Chain A
Amino acid sequence: MASPDFSLSVADCPLIQVDGWDGALGQFESSLSASLGTKLPASVGETVRQKGLLVIRVAPRRLWLALDDGIEAPSLAVDPDLGCSVSLDEGRVRFRMAGADVAWVVSKCITVDWRAPAAAPGRAVLTSLHHVPVLFLRTGDTACELIVPRSFSQSLSDWISGLDC
């Protein structure tokens, strides 16, 4: 494929990470759900969208709250006996990829089965791109995002852009 039909754009990706303690997870999730005004994704890889906020369960006791462009971060007051939160406002970059050949591009980058239910629109998968940990977010039939560490972002975007040469 000499010139795949896909586009890549790069943007900042403000995140908040929240963790619940083992043994207090139910209480933590109830509290967080109430704070955010939405139910939480039940299992790893599921996501829930709520008014410019995407809640992603990235590990059994860990969630990422990804903010859309221009959305204010919710004020979270996590009870330290239930869990904790840390702002990841600056350290991640969002690669938006879209186009008819995006599945082909993904197959050259990460070990994610585009056609599997686990990678269906709305699902997230923690995986690696060129040995770097990234979060794959399926955003549409021919669109997805990769959330990558900022320090690697130029190297990884070069890697993806180089697929058409």
Chain B
Amino acid sequence: MTIVEAEKLNQKGLQKVASNERFTFFGLTLPYLIMVTALIVIPVGWLFYLSFIGRDGSFSFENYERMMKSKAYIRIFITTFKISILTTIICAAIGYPLAYFMSQLSRKWANICMIGVLIPFWTSLLVRTYAWLVLLQKKGLLNNMAIEMGLITEPIKIVHNTTGTLIGMVHIMLPFLILPLYANMRSIDKDTLKAASSLGATPTRAFWTVFFPLSLPGLLAGLLIVFVLCLGFYVTPAILGGGRVIMAAMKISSNIELYFSWGAASALGVVLLVVTGIILFIASKLVSMDQLGNR
């Protein structure tokens, strides 16, 4: 060799290949990074800034103070959490057995069921919400049918209130719970249940000691998605709540559309964001602790 510094065979060339690969991967994520910066980081930052601007245009905490003091705001937060928690619980109660059932079916039948879950998911939110209105209203399909069948004499009020809001929201949120839960349940080794059974566990016991704990990560993921989406939900509660169920997102909208109060709206948005962040943080701790402790 004539070179002074001895280079190992193809060392430089291989280093170049590796750095090219890294560059390519970075390039692939670039469009997303730009989009996130332009559409999320900057506007959210701008809102954050606005939330600290008072009516007179100077820096102030008045937007937040109002939120703490005003009974209307506190009621809105209570309503938002109540509706979100109820929707999440009902979704879990309906979704878990369904996901379990689907996970026990053969692939073919499970896929057919999955289409049943997904078709509403693919339909416009607005269309589905108005469809519920048609079904549930005073002279709607449901009330008319119940009266004709003689089940009730007077139409019952199942829309423009909490009940109607919950019905609509559960229907819309259900797929968000089922999808991660079903994926998780599918990945559970069916032999573990057989093993439990061969070792002497009744089917009920095997379910609670083996299947349920193993399905927790999927259930938690589903609950989280549903709850967080509920917190910021607008269309369905606005239409099916009939103005009686006021959630945070609706207040944000009215702050801007009626009162042109960007500061108040932003402050509300920031609080929602922070609450969501805290919940996600706690949940991530729960999941990782669950995994640390058991795996």
A joins B in a complex: no
